[in-house]
Copies of this chain bind each other. A is one copy, B any other.
Amino acid sequence: MGESTAPTAFVPGHVTAFFGVHRAGDPYRTGSTGAGIVLEDGVEVTVDPGEPLSVTVNADAVEPGPVTAVLETLGVEGGVRARTRLPPGAGFGVSGALALGTALSANAVADEPRSSNELIRIAHRAEVEAGTGLGDVVAQARGGVPVRLEPGAPPHGVLDGVPATARVEYLSFGQLATAEVITGDTATLTDAGERALDRLQGRPTLPALFQAARAFAAEADLVTPRVAEAVDDVTAAGGEACMAMLGETVVALDSGLSDAGYDPSSCRIHPGGAAPGRFSSFQRER
């Protein structure tokens, strides 16, 4: 099936600012609480029905991870092609985007169409069971500045948000292994995440989110030296920055990284969630 007719979905990127891990026997009740920022820079995911199962990101073959389970659940056989300017494994939710984008695209050719919540459940479960993420899918489905009050997929997960928009900058120094952190001893981390969440709920603004994220990263002992230096440089220059969980990546409000002398990528907070169609469906001429 050609480029023009194969179903495609756009899933925005998501950086987690702080989080707590919540495991349950039920994968739909397993997930993370916390908060993050959804980015206009995201992932376009195309399913080519009838092709052999393979997953490519910018034409490079990658492990199928959660994609296999998503396609099986929907009863669709196909190849999955993703295009993105986000670096994989660096805390931008590319894995969640592959799962959710595959669900949205494959649904368009499935014999039995599903609702939005059903697709979120399928993608969330696949991420949890593949060990690639706990909260990106529900955040990417919502958009904006998602606050995950209760873990899990619909109808269990409960979301709120910080009602704000802004330009953001990001700079990645490398990958961190999500699975190693979220399957290890997470008690200290989760305590720190709950304190950060309480703080943000008391004042749901973007500066408060960054401040809570810095306190969390210090308490949870997750900051790498290069990230610590860049975050300190941004705050010393009067900006707001934090580490993206989990990647060796720094995110800053507005021109925070540029102002501190770095050469970051930039985009806006994406006000919407994942949706069928290309990114251009968010664009229009007035």
A→B interface (CB under 8 Å)? 40, 104, 107, 113-119, 143-144, 147, 154-155, 158, 160-165, 201, 203-205, 267-268, 270-273, 275-277, 279, 281-284, 286
Residues of chain B within 8 A (CB-CB) of A115 are 147, 160-163, 201, 204
Q: Compute how far the CA of A272 lies from the CA of B40 in the bound complex, rounded to whole angstroms.
A: 12
Pair A277/B281 contact, Cβ less than 8 Å: no
A252 CA to B144 CA, complexed, in Å: 29
User: Contact at B144–A116, with CB atoms within 8 Å?
Assistant: yes
- Asked if A154 contacts B143 (CB within 8 A), the reply is no
Q: Provide the residues of chain B in CB contact with A158, threshold 8 Å.
A: 155
Chain B residues within 8 Å of A205, by CB: 113
Q: Are A107 and B283 in contact (CB under 8 A)?
A: no
Instruction: Say how far A43's CB is from chain B's closest CB, in angstroms.
Output: 14
The answer for the CA separation of A24 and B275 in the assembled complex, in Å, is 33
CA gap between A162 and B104 in the complex, in Å: 11
> Given A144-B116, A160-B154, A282 and B276 touching (CB < 8 A)?
no
Q: Which of B113, B163, B273 contacts A143 (CB 8 A)?
A: B273
- B281 & A271 in contact (Cβ 8 Å cutoff): yes
- The residues of B that contact A143 with a CB separation of less than 8 Å are 143, 272-273
15 A-B pairs (CB sep. < 8 Å): A113-B205, A115-B162, A115-B163, A116-B147, A117-B161, A118-B204, A119-B163, A143-B272, A154-B160, A155-B158, A163-B276, A165-B275, A268-B284, A271-B281, A272-B282
Return chain B residues, CB-CB under 8 Å to A268: 281, 284
Complex A-B, nearest 4 residue pairs according to Cβ-Cβ distance, in ascending order: A272-B272, A116-B161, A271-B275, A115-B204
Of chain B, the residue at the smallest CB distance from A38 is B272
Whole-angstrom CA separation of A272 from B272 in the bound complex:
4
B residues less than 8 Å from A286 (CB atoms):
279
- Complex-state Cα separation, A279 to B271, whole angstroms: 10
Cβ contact within 8 Å between B113 and A204: yes
Residues of chain B with a CB closer than 8 A to A147's CB: 115-116
Which of B107, B165, B272 touches A271 (beta carbons < 8 Å)? B272
Known contacts: A114-B204, A119-B163, A284-B40. The answer to whether A273 contacts B271 by CB under 8 A is yes
Chain B residues lying within 8 Å of A161, measured Cβ to Cβ, are: 115-117
The residue in chain B whose Cβ has the minimal distance to the Cβ of A208 is B113
A282 touching B277, Cβ below 8 Å? no
* CB-defined contacts of A114 to chain B, threshold 8 Å: 163, 204
